[in-house]
Chains A and B, each alone.
Chain A
Amino acid sequence: MELGLLRLATLLYLAATLVALVGIAVRQELPRRLLPRLLLGGLGVHAAAIIVRSVAGGHIAVTTFAEALSFLAAVLVAIFLAVQARRPLVALGAVVSPLAFGLGLAAYAAYSGARPLPPVLDSAWLPVHVVLATLGDAVFALAFSASLLYLVQERRLKAHRGRGLLRHLPSLETLDRVNYTCLVWGLILLTLGIVSGIIWAHEVWGRSWSTDPKLVFSLLTWAVYVVLLQGRMTAGWRGRWAATLTIAGFAVIVLSLVSVNMLALGNHGKAF
């Protein structure tokens, strides 16, 4: 049943993608109203899928690669909905929805049956660490989406194209502010995620965690975003440069997600 729910949620994200794309091309009320409803519907179904699986497994369903991807998609959609409740950003939805769709599709493809929780993961730290880390990734995914839109909008303005298919993008100022807010929150969450992971690992293994590839990638990501935040606050970095760095930082996150989990590197890779 949970697989059917996941499939339905993924299809709703696909529908949301199409609606958001229409929303960029034409200024109409319908896409603006439809997009959050589709995503909310998708999220509801998606949450049901995760809950069903968690209840069946007896622990929070975030321990396989497919589960992690699925959880990330749900958190991303939830955060986007929270952001867009304050002010509608259909164009941001046009990047977030396909991301959620892609993650859902990947989770569906990598689907494996439930398996007993490995003893090493049987800890109160599991939900804390995973939720913090996933929230951090999702917030950075949002920052990435805003930065991508920034670069597109920037190019259009520089090239003096006032109209065309992408005419209803948010202003550069709005996108830059979304970037900044996400940067601050993402860094807080990422820091907490890393710290909680270190404490947990220390309890389990003593010292042997320090060369875990996931930790190395996370520290690299952290460094990129700390430099960016520092530059923004003191040197007045903004706009195109900030957007480019944000995208670079997110590339490290994606690289970490793909390489560690697909190649089963280190503790994170083996655990999943």
Chain B
Amino acid sequence: MEHRTIVLVGLNHRTAPVEVRERVAFANGRLEPALRDLVALPGVLEGAIVSTCNRVEVIACGVDVGTVGGALPAFLAREHGLGEPALAGHLYTHADRAAVRHLFRVAASLDSMVVGEPQILGQLKEQYALAASVGASGRVLHRCFHKSFSVAKRVRNETGIAEKAVSVGSAAVEMARGIFDRLEDKTAMLVGAGAMGELTARQLLAQGVGSVLVVNRTYERAMDVARELGGMPVPFERLARYLPLADLVIGTASGDEFLVTPALVDEAMRERRRRPMLFVDLAVPRGFDPGVNAIDDVYLFDIDDLEGVVADNKGARAREAVKAETIVDAEVDAFWRWFTSLDVVPTIVALRDKVEGIRRREVERGLTALGAADPRLPEVLERVTSAIVNKILHGPLTALRRHEAHAGEAFYVEAARRLFGLGADPDDEEE
């Protein structure tokens, strides 16, 4: 018999390098058609997609783990015009409880590159709302996502994870504050217009950085990003010319050779009369020569350094993480009780058991009241009451069985549980 299931397939910053992540990420406007494709897959009843610069995840509720789990990787590859082998080795698949647990951990920012960073929750909410608006998500994912939001809230309120947390961008800002007094009169240069760099540039601008230069191999993309950020695009060949203007250089691009070399920085430092420069290399592999850090008044941080900056104080963080995981586990249990209660078979069994129990108790009570009158009485009572019960139950049980076939209709199951007081829904929906 087929069971209703939740499957999550995806890749993140740990399993896939940025080149792969970038190719699999869903650009603005591409999510809606992808969501429609997703729910059209065989066996998929509900679906949602999470796509950020650090992860792309497809979560689906369907009728069979094998069918759904098998369809999702192919779906991801197809959506981006890639062959399935291109993603092999980068994808992970979580089913049922593990899938729910993963989603909860993502929402609570326990799976983030910088644990506790607050941006992921907003992105999740936005993308779930999109899935809901195109009708891709249904009752199960609705509850699953909303639970994940409340898990995130609990983790934020009840643990110290968020306090310590700073996203990579905030870490870059923190380093900038160690060097520069005012950011208002500073210029930032974005080398490579990747999503990470754009995000970091936004944070720098929010912190008051005066102006932004955007350098990119494709000039059109540089212009797009520059327009979005209110900055100035710079052709890739002019990088060296404009470098002396930059106080902060954020890199997300890398190539066969380093894009920024010590010789280049030396020259720039001379031209800017040794005013300090901060280089932040977010690219993997690195785009700036590590030797740049050896130059006086030049400070270079790569992504690992920034993670080191925010991942300090490990003991305290580990304790808070344990607390957070406990919260996640408890919430997964609660969700899973609700989810399994949606299954038809346990409901049918529970309904039968309950009614049968009532019948037996009442028959016994009747027999005790009557005393030993007619020896045939117990047998007759047994037969009559059984017939009544079976006839009454026939309708509801048929309805439930019929809906077992298309399990999307959770409504009947839950209605039956409520009408007959089967008490399986310990924490009712709050949203």
Contact = CB atoms under 8 A, between A and B. Distances in A.
Interface of A: 153, 156-158, 160-164, 169-174, 177, 236-241
A33 B309 CA distance: 28
Interface string B291-314: 001001101010001001110110
A163 B276 contact: no
Contacts of B177: 171
A172 B179 CA distance: 5
Nearest to A239: B297
Nearest to A160: B305
- Which applies to chain B's interface (DSSP): helix, strand, loop or mixed? mixed
B297 A240 contact: yes
B309 A240 contact: no
A12 to B, nearest CB: 30
Given A162-B171, A164-B312, A177 B181 contact: yes
Contacts of A158: 293, 299
B181 A171 contact: yes
A171 B297 CA distance: 13
Contacts of B180: 171-173
Contact of A240 (B182, B293, B296, B308): B296
A162 B297 contact: no
B293 A172 contact: no
Interface of B: 171, 174-175, 177-182, 273-276, 293, 296-297, 299, 301, 305, 308-310, 312-313
Given A157-B175, A241-B296, A172 B276 contact: yes
B296 A174 contact: no
A239 B308 contact: no
Given A163-B312, A163-B313, A238-B297, A157 B179 contact: yes
A134 B310 CA distance: 45
B299 A238 contact: no
B299 A157 contact: yes
A210 to B, nearest CB: 39
A173 to B, nearest CB: 4
Contacts of B312: 162-164
Given A158-B299, A162-B174, A163-B312, A173 B179 contact: yes
A170 B182 CA distance: 12
Given A162-B174, A163-B313, A173-B276, 4 more contacts: A162-B309, A171-B180, A172-B179, A238-B297
Interface-central residue, A153, A170, A237, A238, by most chain B CB under 10 Å: A238
Given A171-B178, A173-B179, A160 B308 contact: yes
A158 B175 CA distance: 11
Contacts of B305: 160
A239 B178 contact: no
B323 to A, nearest CB: 21
A239 B296 contact: yes
B178 A237 contact: no
A121 B54 CA distance: 76
Contacts of A174: 181
Nearest to B278: A157
Contact of A162 (B181, B182, B274, B308): B308
Nearest to A170: B181
A236 B273 contact: yes
B19 to A, nearest CB: 25
A53 to B, nearest CB: 41
B430 to A, nearest CB: 37
Contact of A171 (B179, B273, B274): B179
A239 B274 contact: yes
Contacts of B181: 170-171, 173-174, 177
A239 B276 contact: yes
26 contacts: A153-B178, A157-B175, A158-B299, A161-B309, A162-B171, A162-B175, A162-B308, A162-B309, A162-B310, A163-B309, A170-B181, A171-B180, A171-B181, A172-B178, A172-B179, A172-B180, A173-B179, A173-B181, A173-B182, A177-B181, A236-B274, A237-B274, A238-B275, A239-B296, A239-B297, A240-B297
